Amino acid sequence: MGEDTIAAIATAPGEAGIGIVRISGDKSIDIAESIFKGKTEEKLSKVDERKLVYGHIIDPKDQSKIDEVLTVYMKGPFTYTKEDIVEINCHGGIIPVRRILELVLEKGARMAEAGEFTKRAFLNGRIDLAQAEAVMDLISAKTDTSFDVSLNQLEGSLSKEVKNIRDVILEIIAHIEASIDFPEDDIENVAYDKIEQKGKKVLTKIDELLKTSSTGKILREGLKTVILGKPNVGKSSLLNSILRENRAIVTDVPGTTRDIIEEYVNVNGIPLKIIDTAGIRETDDVVEKIGVNKAKNLLNESDLAIVIFDGSRDLTDEDKEIMKLIKDRKAIILINKTDLEEKINKREIEKYLPNKEIIATSILKGSGLDILEDTLKEMFFSGDIKIKDDVIVSNVRHKELLNKAKQNIKEALESLNMGMPIDCIEVDIKDCWSNLGEINGDTVSEDIIDKIFEDFCIGK
Ligand code: GDP
């Protein structure tokens, strides 16, 4: 392919059973043969392709053994990148993989950039851009559901949908061009009808995809949730109970000023990302300690607030302050401590917060929490989504492009209604076509491609 041969460590750093150094490009096999010595002395390129070969990596400078390995040669084009690939499976741990990578680089490979293997898979035409992005999402998926969404996308479900819409747009363009080429044939009137009918179809299809994007965002990023309430209402107890009952996925966020730990909890397939968990744990008094402004900021950042009131005590000014804050936000209200004597009930809260979900709970006794989970699901997943079959837009870039394409087609339809000349309409239709094409990479610029792959990890 005339490209550099690239190499990287494909496995996560750290102690592990095996580590893999991956090489892709024309020189892969030469490089591998220059440092690999198989037990049977047979050259790697002569052994059956895709067969693991046992042997050692040897430093050609002094013939010293670097590690005991299994090496596999996969000849392009039926490989991840469509290029020749060699993968060296060595012992896990940072030393063996690093030593081998250094040798591979000495022998003429270049260190792969972030996502470069997948980028080559895209540039060499094995997968389209949306599929390449799905690879990244698969790796970073936090729940089974978001993994399934990404797997669907990797298999081309979104790409297919986008292609179908673009096919309809192409038909529209064909009608337009025909009417421009043969104006005398009174074809224009026919074209207007067809454009309208097909344009509406395109708009509906784009809308359908856009509707899935809020679910997609939640699946991908987690439902950012903040737990609010005055001291002692049961915030930590709720958090602990959620964490205990559900699988928590903890990820460190490097580079943040505080040691924030993002805790993802998988509740009924919904990844909750609990904001400022540390804050809740460290202090009994979120609102007071962090201040009303900070609480407001937290609320602004979050998709959902779970707000707790103590049902065994009268409402206080503090409670009312919190009510004001969440009045216009997505919130689920818990009246907690229902195992104690009741001082406030749902009606009391409804006076201040009409139209909010209110659930009576006793976090201590574990009652009402199942209702909380069901409510969560109902609030955020409209209808029953069947991840396995449905196309779900989970990527912000795709969502933006769909929005642009929607705008284009709407404007085209409006121009049509206003009786604008057909070549004006064509401009919007073509923009719509190319905006959608950016999703699967048909019409995308090099800068955007570079930017997308920058976010990948090295070795993928
Ligand atoms: P926070 O300050 O809002 O985080 O509240 P905590 O979770 O620390 O709870 C304060 C106190 O209330 C603790 O002693 C809890 O055991 C207790 N508590 C929490 N939920 C309940 C409940 O449902 N019923 C009763 N009786 N006590 C509860």
Three-class secondary structure of residue 383 per DSSP: coil
**pTM of the prediction?**
0.77
pLDDT at 1: 46
Question: How much is the mean pLDDT over the chain?
Answer: 86
Cβ(250)–Cβ(264) under 8 Å? yes
What is the whole-number distance in angstroms between the Cα of residue 284 and the centre of ligand 1? Answer: 10
Domain boundaries, the chain: 6-125, 133-212+392-454, 228-298+313-380
Distance of CA 18 to the CA centre of its chain: 27
pLDDT tens, N- to C-terminus, the chain (460 residues): 457 999 999 998 888 899 999 999 999 999 999 999 998 878 898 888 899 999 999 999 999 999 999 999 999 999 999 999 999 999 998 899 999 999 999 999 999 999 999 999 999 999 999 999 999 889 888 777 888 889 999 999 999 999 999 999 999 999 888 887 776 666 566 778 888 999 999 999 999 999 888 888 888 778 888 888 888 888 888 888 887 776 555 554 443 334 344 567 878 777 888 875 444 444 444 445 555 666 777 788 888 999 999 999 999 988 898 899 899 888 999 999 999 999 998 999 999 999 899 999 999 999 999 999 889 888 876 555 555 557 889 898 999 999 999 999 999 999 999 988 888 899 999 999 999 999 999 988 888 888 889 888 777 8
Three-class secondary structure of residue 187 per DSSP: helix
- What's the CA gap between 14 and 95, in Å, rounded? 9
Residue with CA nearest ligand 1 atom 16: 364
What is the per-residue pLDDT across 174-187, written as a single tens digit (0 to 9) for each? 988 888 777 666 65
What is the whole-number distance in angstroms between the Cα of residue 415 and the centre of ligand 1? Answer: 61
Scan for tokens 């669907």, then name that residue. Answer: 152
- What one-character-per-residue DSSP string does 350-372 give? HHHSTTSEEEE-BTTTTBSHHHH
Which helix (H) or strand (E) covers residue 203, if one does?
helix 187-211
What is the whole-number distance in angstroms between the Cα of residue 380 and the centre of ligand 1? Answer: 27
pLDDT at 255: 39
CATH 2.30.30.180 assigned to domain 133-212+392-454? The reply is: no
Which helix (H) or strand (E) covers residue 67, if one does?
strand 64-74
Ligand 1: which of 312, 362, 364 to mutate, most ligand atoms within 8 Å of CB? 364
Residue with CA nearest ligand 1 atom 18: 234
- What's the CA gap between 346 and 333, in Å, rounded? 9
What is the whole-number distance in angstroms between the Cα of residue 49 and the centre of ligand 1? Answer: 63
Superfamily grouping for domain 228-298+313-380: P-loop containing nucleotide triphosphate hydrolases (3.40.50.300)
Ligand 1: which of 228, 237, 372 to mutate, most ligand atoms within 8 Å of CB? 237
What is the per-residue pLDDT across 68-79, written as a single tens digit (0 to 9) for each? 999 999 999 999
Tell the burial category of 385 from Cβ atoms under 10 Å away from its Cβ (0-12, 13-18, 19+). Answer: middle
Q: Which two three-digit tokens encode residue 270?
A: 């919904």
- What's the CA gap between 229 and 318, in Å, rounded? 9
Three-class secondary structure of residue 253 per DSSP: coil
- What's the CA gap between 423 and 337, in Å, rounded? 67
Nearest CA-CA partner of 241 in 125, 401, 152, 368? 368
Residue with CA nearest ligand 1 atom 17: 234
The binding-site residues of ligand 1, defined as CB within 6 angstroms of any ligand atom, are 229, 231-237, 284, 336-337, 339-340, 362-364
What is the whole-number distance in angstroms between the Cα of residue 234 and the centre of ligand 1? Answer: 4
What is the whole-number distance in angstroms between the Cα of residue 310 and the centre of ligand 1? Answer: 9
CATH 3.30.1360.120 assigned to domain 6-125? The reply is: yes
Ramachandran region, residue 358 (left: φ > 0; alpha: ψ -120 to 50; beta: rest): beta
What is the whole-number distance in angstroms between the Cα of residue 241 and the centre of ligand 1? Answer: 11
